[in-house]
Each structure stands twice: as C-alpha cells, then as structure tokens.
Structure 1
C-alpha cells in the first residue's frame, strides 16, 4: 500500500482558489446580466443620452399639442373680442422676430462634414485626428456669419435657432436643444444669398474651415436655395442662469 501523500500548502490552497474563482464568475454574471462590464461609464453615458433624447422628444410632442390648443383658444377669443385681436396682431410681429413662427423665403444651405476615411484608417499627410473632423467652432462660425449677413432665420438640422440658442459639440456629434446629431451638419438660412456668401467668405472662422476643407478633405459646401422653409422654434423661451453653490 502506497504511503499517504503529504498535505502541502498548495494542496490546501487549490480548492480555496477554485471556490473563490467560481464565486467571482457567478457574481460577475449576476452583475452584468448579459451586458459588457468593460464598457463601464461610457456605456452608461450612452444609455443616459438615449434616455434623455426620448424624454425630450415626448416633452416636445406634448408641448406642440398644448401650444396648438392655446392657439385655438386665442383665435376663438380674438374672434369675439376686438382688444384680444389687436394684442394678438401686435404679438405676431414679435413672435416672428423671436423665431417662434415658421418662415419661408430664399436663402442658402451650408453642409459641413468630416473628411472621408483613408484606406486602412490612416490620416492625410501631416494631419492629426482633430484636423479631419468638424468642430464646434466651425458650426458656430457659419451660424455667426449668417446672422451677421442679416439672415431672417437660421436652422441647424432642421431645428430653428434663436438669439439664445447654443451650438455645442460632444466629440464629433452636435448637441442641440436636447438632441444629438452626427455629421454631415446642414445649416439653412433665409436671407439675401449674395450677402450671406460674402459674409461667409469674410469670416475668419469660416476661412479656416475652408482652408481645412482644401487641405484635409473636409466638406464645406454652400448652395443658393430659391425656397427655404424654416420651422418655428420649439424649445423653451425661459432664461436659465447659473447659481452659486451654497
């Protein structure tokens, strides 16, 4: 009969390690529930953005429904009361100037897009990753130039802008009125096409964009449009201010 084997430290530790590993795998599976744990905060942020976009879409739909009811009630009151009709007519001018009514006219369309991918995913000679994408300053430069040219109304991706609208980029996506948009970015404006083209050509920010388009293949295209239709602004008109933490 063979002599009994000596109990070593490793002999005792192997079952303990195996048990701990099994518990770890079981805990990971329970926590992940079919998701990618390595994605971490990036996955959570993407999910949060999607949830917020859905919430914004629902709220905007409800806002449009309520605004339609208000308009109907106001029109009904104006038909019975001369003072209401007079105030309504005076308010109409202000609503148009504020971008709160649809607008149609001649104008321009500006298209901005990242440079196309090179074979193998490489970059153009002498370029960095920042050189081949559209930046917030590019979009803002185009919008500012159009306003400076006397545009009656401006929209990005079909979303009407007002004097308080902010153009923000998150990575290579545009964040506008609670929604995100990927390039190509389309900017439309109503006004004198000749004056808007001249102002775009004179803008230092737009000149840098045009130069990058020539050197790195970015898209910067301006086209005259005989008919531009801009929707009414659908966001909130309430001003928001930063407040100190107490």
Structure 2
C-alpha cells in the first residue's frame, strides 16, 4: 500500500532553528573530536609523553650555563665592591679637600681685597695735599655726613603685567618698572644739579661707578638692588631739590611718573649719612715736563687718585 502523507494537523511543528543546523552543530561540538580523543588518551596513560634524551641534555646544559653566569657575576661583584668603595671614598676626600682649599682662597681674596681698599683710601686721604678733604669726598674714600635730599624711586603699581610701549627697547618691555637707564639719568641729574656725594640703597657712587642691568635687575658696581630705590645726595637740600626737579633729568623722571606710573618722591634732609665706597681704583699721575726740560709743576708732581 502506498504510504500516506502525514496529516499536517497531527504532525509535530518544525524547530524554529531548523534552518541553522550547521551553527547549532558548531555550538554543540566546540571541541573537535580529534582533540577530545587525544585528551582521553593522555588521561589514560597518566600524563604527558616523556621527553627525549637530547631535550633533557639541552635543558640541563642551559641550566648549568645560567648558574655559571650568575655565580661569576656575583663573584665579580664581591671582588670589585671594595675597590669601588675605596675609589668613592677617595673621590669624596678629594672633593672635600678642594672645597676647603677654595673656601680658604676665597677668604684670602676677601682679606686682601679689604686691605687693598683700605690702602687705597689712605692713599687718597693723605696724598691730596691741601685738597685732601675734597679728594677724599669726590673719590668716595671716606664716609660723609651733611645736609642733602632723599629721592625715592619705585616701580608702578601692578608693574608685573607686561605690555608694549614707547619705552620698549633693547629687550626691555614697558611694564612700569624702573630701568637701569632711568637710574642713570637720575644720578647724572643729581651730579649736574650740584650733589657732592650720591648713594643708592646704601651703595656709594663714584665717578667710576657703573649702573647696569642683568635681566630685570639693576646692578650698581655689579651688586643687585631691589626697589624701592632710595637715592641719598649730599648738598644744599632745598637748592639741590629745586635744581634737580627743574633739570632735564628731573623732567624725565616726572614724565615717567605721569606716563608710566613710576612712583617718586623727593624731600630735603637736615642730615644725610653716606658710607664710603666699597672699592676704589687708585691711579698715579706722572709729572708733566715744561718745554721738554723734564721739570714738573707743583700741581702735577703730586700723586693723587683720579676719578
């Protein structure tokens, strides 16, 4: 009898994933059958197959070589350690000895510099003849006290902020800060106005003093100064103050105050005390012959310090 087709009403419905039979097989059998059989054989024999004799010999040789290298390195380190420590101690001793020698030389230089300065001051004081007080005053060889003025120059408020301006030149930007060239004009203006002696922040100035800049710092004879800059000048207080403010350099300082906010104040002082200059340079003048006869005048024949 021919087979009857199944009744669709009584047949079981097909699986929803019937079309993904290959994917289902991969998911259900993720481990290949060959791997499963190899793992079963290894478990039956009780562990991995034994290594060959050659592999064991190579492994033993490698271990022996590594142990030999480590042993030689440790022995070399133990042998060289005392030598390295000795060299280090010798180097430290040499550094300490050289440092002590340099400190001693620095103290000697300071002492000799002080002696030279004292001898120069005495030479200027005692070789000026009848003009000894004037020579000592103008050269800065002695401390001086008398009436004068006090001029304080300070940076503008908020001068840390940068910005360009007409004073920008030579690498300096207009920040409202007092520059070395400003102090140069102030000091020169005081000299021209009749000041007999000048000091900035306790640093006595002479005819050979230099006011320079290092970065944004002002140096007077290579010593840095910090604002505010207090300038003391010996002279007739009221007359000196008036003459300076009316001079071109006084007007320059006033322009800085008006245009850039630089702060300044000047006042007459009944007594101003200025220290002696820390270092002096003394030169000697040679007699000048009159008409080639080799005779010198009384004025030029005297030894005196020159500014």
Instruction: Give TM class, smaller chain.
Output: 0.5 to 0.7
Q: TM-score, normalised by structure 1?
A: 0.57
Residues 217 and 235 (structure 1 numbering): CA distance in 2 closer, same or farther, change over 3 Å? same
Q: Which one scores higher on RCO, CA 8 angstroms, separation ≥ 6?
A: 1
Identify the match of residue 117 of structure 1 among 141, 158, 164. Answer: 158
Are residues 89 and 71 of structure 1, via their aligned partners in 2, closer, same or farther at CA, if it must alter by over 3 Å? same
Question: Does 2:113 align with 1:63?
Answer: yes
**Which residue of the other structure, out of 101, 104, 109, is the alignment partner of 2:145?**
104
Q: For residues 91-146 of structure 1, what are the alpha-carbon distances to aligned partners after superposition, in whole Å with 9 as ceiling and x for unaligned?
A: 7332233221110001011111111217xx65699898415111222211111121
Q: Aligned in 2, Cα 1:88/1:115: closer, same or farther, shift over 3 Å? A: closer
CA distance, structure 1, for counterparts of residue 211 and residue 240 of structure 2: 19
**Higher fraction of helix:** 1
Query: Which runs of 5 or more structure 2 residues have no equivalent in the other structure?
Result: 1-34, 36-105, 284-307
Mapped pair 1:222 → 2:266: yes
CA change 1:59–1:201 in 2 (3 A) is: farther
- TM-score in terms of structure 2 length: 0.47
Structure 1: gaps of 5 or more residues? 2-54, 75-84, 240-246
- Show the counterpart of 1:182: 226
Q: Which moved more, 1:100-109 or 1:173-182?
A: 173-182
Deviates more, 1:138-147 or 1:208-217: 208-217
* Contact kept in structure 2, 1:134 and 1:172, CA below 8 Å: no
Inter-partner Cα distance in structure 2 for 1:100 and 1:110: 23
CA distance in 2, matches of 1:68, 1:164: 18
Corresponding position: 1:204 with 2:253: no
**Distance (Å, rounded) in 2 between the aligned partners of 1:221 and 1:229:** 19
* Other-structure match for 2:203: 159
Q: CA deviation at 1:209?
A: 2.3
Structure 2 SS opposite 1:63: helix
Larger Rg: 2
Distance across 2 between alignment mates of 1:217 and 1:61: 44
Distance 1:123 1:166, change over 3 A: closer
Q: Deviation per CA, 1:7-61, whole angstroms, max 9, x where unpaired?
A: xxxxxxxxxxxxxxxxxxxxxxxxxxxxxxxxxxxxxxxxxxxxxxxx7x98566
Residue among 160, 178, 188 paired with 1:144: 188
Separation in 2, partners of 1:172, 1:165: 19
